[in-house]
Amino acid sequence: MSLKGCTSRPSWRALARGASLLLVGAIAACGSRSGIEPLTRADIEAPELEAAAAPEDTSPPAEAELAAPSASIGAPTGCVDITRRYASSPPTVLLLIDQSSSMRESFGESTRWDVLRQAIVDPDEGLLTWLDASANIGLISYTSLNGYERGRECPITQREDVRLGNAERIRRFYGAVEPFLGGDTPTADAIDLAVSTLAAADIGPARYVLLLTDGVPDTCAEPDPQNGFDDAVDAVVRARELGVSVKAVGVSPEIERRGLQRMANAAAGKPLDLEYGEDAGAEAPLYASTQPRELATQLKGVFGDVRSCSVELGTDVDARRAGQGRLVLDGRELEYRGVDGWSLASAHEIELHGRACSSVLDGGEQLEIELPCDGASGLGPR
């Protein structure tokens, strides 16, 4: 259902090509320990998460065309051609958050940790509020203190278990944790742990791990040097085989681009070496905005099967041409600005009204969205 000159999957436009908030062509990061501070006893004795039982349910999640969110405030208008397929049971989102020491480093006007946390916990516009009524939510933070040295557990984790209506518990939990002094980034090990947790849980088939990390990963077996991206990619492939979709987001301008690109391709089941912007079919790597409100919008756009009457488009569209768009819910075309139809809530968000909203919340299966490109900008696929 593509419109001529439109992209079938709006991207998080990586801003190495001229914008100021995000960086795609990032140089290799200096590692997850930039600015190492001395360890404290509290760090070493931090709570740990035991791996869940081996997975039993290996059925794949419901297919969903995911609108990749907008990358910057004031982004140029684009075009939209997406399909959302809603699961019969609530999807499950497990936040997997890098707790390494470099998450303390500056990011925009704050730190990586605080920008990310605000985007997730904000009671009005944060990710948790948006997910709360429609998805099972959980959180695992992860790091290590030099792998298995001195017999420590690795990864060192803290968690809030997955459940429906869990937003307030996660807010309290997340508000009380901070990055570890001297903490590493064993991402592959953490992905495996998160996936085993989801695979063993009594939940529906639509299961996501939302990985939020800022550095080049290491592993529990080899904390130094940081050579863990291949292992992280392998972990994403294993997750897909078990029916869990890993969405990796780079919360840093320093995260190594090639590794994040390969993780994005692996999650989508595509050849690993495709390069977004160069190769047809490459999956767009995801980079976080330095603005909490914009980052919250980006994160909401990752999930295509969360039932909500507000639909993040993943790009700013031309409001003057919205009436030329077309929304079809389970084969029925919805009226623009109709009481039982749809309207634009903002440049990047659609609001469903009346029976259209009720249908999505009460069992609708598929929503198709087409909005025209901005002819003046001449934008093609990004």
Q: Helices 112-121 and 167-175 sit at what angle, rounded to 10 degrees?
A: 160
pLDDT of residue 208: 92
> pLDDT-derived band of residue 300, with 50, 70 and 90 as boundaries?
confident
DSSP secondary structure, 219-253, as one string: -SS--SS---HHHHHHHHHHHHHTTEEEEEEE-ST
Burial class of residue 2 (count of CB atoms within 10 Å of its CB; 0-12, 13-18, 19+): exposed
Please give the residue that has the higher pLDDT: either 154 or 24: 154
Tell me, what's the pLDDT at 81? 77
Cβ atoms of 213 and 255 within 8 Å: the answer is yes
Q: How confident is the prediction for the chain on average, in pLDDT? A: 77
Place 186 in a pLDDT band, splitting at 50, 70 and 90. Answer: very high
Q: What is the mean pLDDT of residues 176-190?
A: 96
Tokens of 288: 């976080």
Helix (H) or strand (E) holding 198: helix 187-200
Q: Which residues lie closer than 8 Å to 130 by C-beta, 6 or more apart?
A: 296, 300, 306, 308, 310
pLDDT in tens, 223-257: 999 899 999 999 999 999 999 999 999 999 878 88
Task: Name all domains of the chain by residue range, CATH numbers in brackets.
Answer: 15-71+89-308 (3.40.50.410)
Amino acid making up residue 4: K
